Amino acid sequence: MGKSSVKGAVFLIIDEEYNQHLVETKLLKESFPGSEVYELDYEKAETFRERDKDVIGILVQISFNMTKDFMLRFPNLKAISVYGGGFNNVDVKAATDLGIKVSRSPDYANHEVAEFAIWSILYFAKKPFYLRERAEKGYWGARAVSDLPIDTWDVEKMEELPTRVYGSNLFIIGYGKIGKTIAMKAKGLGMNVYFYDPNVKADGLAAEVELEEGLRLADYVVLSVPLTETTRNMINYERMKLMKRTAYMINVGRGGVINEADLIKALKEKVIRGAALDVFEKEPLPAESELYRLPNVVVTPHAVYVSDKSIKDLKALATTNLIKLIKGERVPGCVNCQS
């Protein structure tokens, strides 16, 4: 990318998650010599009034709402780049009407998210922490699993019984790049993989099924869909009742895709056996949430995308997207550019 002359240009980085923006600042100033970069938390962003007319680009976290009223404060704003694959925080229609290009940041953490999904499957199947507790109490070998007569062991009745992943059924809801990466890794474990996604055709890696059929088949359900009016609350109590009582739910998409009250009810009633959740209807997940206290739930703080490599990739990608949009160059992550 060459240098551009935009005299007195100002960039805003609106972020309360990352505590440093050296990568972003360096790239912006290299591409736009003489520009200034303001690093703002959410409160400061709401009150920022110093250089409104000079702001041409904004880098923003997915948890800050880019409303029409907020964008109207910057008459020369050309582009917004979101740190992340989602962009629900941006009023894209308003941005389009105002001539502002919006970009998300896809694919930087596909492997990280997929690896968490696979780890969750192995965690639920192999019971490592339960077995550690039994080992500390002096149990060893098969007796570490259970004191019940071994020939009566039954996965339907024994939540602590480890299970074989090979040959089990994985149902992926949302078969974009992350979904396909999960499928690829699951096939390596010998799993039978199914998917549901009305917007994607089968690729030979996973078999396409209807939503209800997939839920019935699944030993593990992985959600990797964005939050839209179509996907909101798509997993509710009635649909969870279609699942095996030994099945597990794993959500790496968006929190609102699962009705949390229904999920808690289903877990308490043992309609399904457990869940691993990285995303929630409200984030941060309130401390009083019952999900923290249910023994069959893994809660992580919307952070499974983080790794030694992914954050560096994301910071560079989001900034590069912003620079290219301002220069009128093509950006694959643009959500309101003319194709």
Catalytic residue among 134, 239, 254, 273: 254
- For the question of residue 51 being annotated catalytic, the response is no
CA dist 213 to 50, 171, 193, 209, 253, Å?
A: 56, 10, 13, 6, 20
254 catalytic, yes or no?
A: yes
Annotated catalytic, 229?
A: no
CA distance 76 to 99: 10
Q: Which of 16, 29, 10, 178 is nearest to 83 (CA)?
A: 16
Q: At 171, give phi and psi (nearest 5°).
A: -115, 120
Contact (Cβ atoms closer than 8 angstroms) between residue 64 and residue 86: no
Q: Which region, left, alpha or beta, applies to residue 28 given φ > 0 means left and ψ of -120 to 50 means alpha?
A: alpha
Which residue type sits at 223?
L
Do residues 102 and 80 lie in contact, with contact meaning Cβ atoms separated by under 8 Å? Answer: yes
110 φ, ψ (degrees, to nearest 5): -55, -45
**Which residue among 269, 283, 293, 329 is the active-site one?**
283
Exactly one of 104, 111, 273, 302 is catalytic; which is it? Answer: 302
Catalytic residues: 254, 283, 302
